[in-house]
Chains A and B, each alone.
Chain A
């Protein structure tokens, strides 16, 4: 069978390329949006995801760090540590503020207070040492942005701190993470004798340990995976409307582009379609012709869009490490399904046009 649809589509390579590029750009918009969102979501739960804790204990009903306030009595740490299946328990304090350099550069930051040599601090030190009293550890990306280095002074929570160490991977486009000693943060916040959360290491099944802690203390205890999922969910909930608007915008752009591309292709081939009908092409065959053209345009655009998304992700990662882009397989599948819907909807107007072509029009002289 002669692949008439493909031949017709690519007979005018420039038009076909423009159409494919137009759809690809719209799909890249959608993919990039997903990738930025996935990256931002991953960044939000990075402290928990990189923590050695198997279970995190918080005030009853509090399930996240983000957009939450948890206050626990420090005595909870000992209670939890004595429970069966618990290997260790350590308190952390949490607040948020901005970190400002002496030059006036400023960055929003989560501030964690942890015990010296404890497990609530930075997962990896790239340079320098853990903070002593009056010192803090900054993320290296934030340090670069603030134009500070080891030994420099920065201010946060209303006082000056010396940068003792640099960690990595804890800065996003929104904020960074800073680590100070537990006692320093308790003093600044006036929260001596309290903890925000208790990090717990388990010797057995973390789910059972979490259940036991909750049963005995009446507090909320979640495994790391549960806590991380809650963190991501709250960000997703907060961003749903924005994401919906952006997704609809990308969808409409892709739809318009593919519709116009197909319509232009069909308009330029109306005589050919008339000839095909005159020679004996059925309505179904003509419908298939348009749908195959839509499918080809969308398929190539999708492949191009995925490749471009990975390429853009790699370039951004190299140029702006703070921006975490995650092109997830499920996102590609979702955009792929959307693209199929777009190609079908985009083919409607061209289909109505070709269905109306009169086969007898072939007897009219070509202009």
Chain B
């Protein structure tokens, strides 16, 4: 399909050998067309980061293929991957990962430099993006003088600088308060819709479900059906109904990520959040 910006075919990743071998990602298939926002959720250690690293050409799969912008990343020589990353992917990280020695504008310009855009054109493009994100008066500020929301908007501007067909976001709202988190989520949605980028978000944050076209659940390195998922009423995490701690109150069964959350809920059920996936009468 011509509008598929990012695709993974039977991607596997295994670390170590023999008894210490770990299969971090098991036969993942994924297609993300331009303009779509895909949210990948899952518990810690489920392989989300490993999958994201492979999708972003930072880690080679043990087997399978990753296609981005029409190229087979897995077939590209190591020497060509950096330039390919610079032109094909925009990255947004939980910790923002701005270069502390550079100003807001320079952080964006740096990404442009990596794709071969330098001098005034780079400067103009950086200013244009930062203006668009309401950071006109923060151009020359170093990251340590900016708020979390401002840093993430700069990171988003940097991710968009080279007009990449794919945006990969790792927990983009985790270090942000609710209001700013929503704003970043909205910006990611707008980016996908208006600029026709494929956006893949890895997150635990349920707020991002609102902007996602598709939600995928990754557990033990493989995608699982979402029909079997519920939301932990204490921490808000999505959990599989199978083999997880649960607790029934007023005829409704609630599911938890851990016994800690279950016990906390059991001590005071009124403090639980409104939940999705709680099942009336189930025991």
* Cross-chain contact B99 with A278 (CB below 8 angstroms): no
Interface of A is mostly: helix
Please tell me if the beta carbons of B94 and A7 are within 8 angstroms of each other in the complex.
no
Shortest beta-carbon distance from A258 to chain B in Å: 20
Q: Which residue of A271, A363, A366 is within 8 Å of B49 (Cβ)?
A: A363
Q: B82–A281 contact, CB under 8 A?
A: yes
A280 touches B87 (CB 8 A): yes
Q: Which residue of chain A has its CB nearest to the CB of B107? A: A2
B-chain residues with CB within 8 Å of residue A63 when the two chains form the complex = none
Stretch from B112-120, B130-138, B182-190, B272-280 that touches the partner: B112-120
Residue on A nearest B86 in the bound complex, by CB: A280
Question: Which B residues are CB-close (under 8 A) to A10?
Answer: 101
Is the pair A278, B91 in contact by a Cβ cutoff of 8 Å? Answer: yes
Say whether A317 faces chain B, with CB atoms less than 8 Å apart. no
Chain A residues lying within 8 Å of B119, measured Cβ to Cβ, are 1
Q: Establish whether residues B82 and A277, one from each chain, have CB atoms under 8 Å apart when the complex forms.
A: yes
Chain A nearest CB from B88 CB (Å) reads 9
Q: A280 and B59: CB pair below 8 A?
A: no
Indicate if B240 sits at the interface (CB-CB under 8 A): no
Compute how far the CA of A10 lies from the CA of B118 in the bound complex, rounded to whole angstroms. Answer: 22
Q: Which residue of B lies closest to A10 (CB)?
A: B101
Q: What's the Cα separation between A363 and B97 when bound, in Å?
A: 9
**A180 CA to B84 CA, complexed, in Å:** 85
The smallest C-beta distance from B237 to any residue of chain A, in angstroms, reads 17
Q: B93: CB under 8 A from chain A?
A: yes
Q: Which of B76-113 contact A (CB under 8 A)?
A: 79, 82-87, 91, 93-95, 97-102, 106, 109-111, 113
Q: A275 interface residue, CB < 8 Å from B?
A: yes
B232 close to A (CB within 8 Å): no
Partner pick for A360 among B58, B82, B98, CB 8 A cutoff? B58
A202 to B226, CA, bound (A): 109
Asked if B216 lies at the interface with its beta carbon under 8 angstroms from chain A, I say no
A4-B53 CB under 8 A given contacts A280-B85, A282-B79, A359-B58: no
Please give the distance in Å from B257's CB to the nearest CB on chain A.
19
Q: Is the CB of B114 within 8 A of A281?
A: yes
Within 8 Å of chain A (Cβ to Cβ): is B4? no
From A281, A363, A366, contact of B52 by CB (8 A): A363
Judge whether B95 and A282 touch: CB under 8 Å.
no
Given A1-B113, A2-B113, A280-B85, are A360 and B100 also a contact pair (CB < 8 Å)? no
Since A2-B110, A285-B114 are in contact, a sample of 11 more A-B pairs with Cβ atoms closer than 8 Å, ordered by chain A residue number, is: A1-B113, A4-B110, A10-B101, A275-B93, A275-B97, A278-B58, A279-B110, A282-B83, A283-B82, A359-B58, A366-B95
Residues on B lying within 8 angstroms of A by beta carbon are 49, 52-53, 56, 58-59, 79, 82-87, 91, 93-95, 97-102, 106, 109-111, 113-115, 118-119, 158, 170
Closest 10 A/B residue pairs (Cβ):
A280-B86, A11-B101, A360-B53, A7-B101, A360-B58, A280-B114, A282-B82, A280-B85, A275-B97, A8-B101
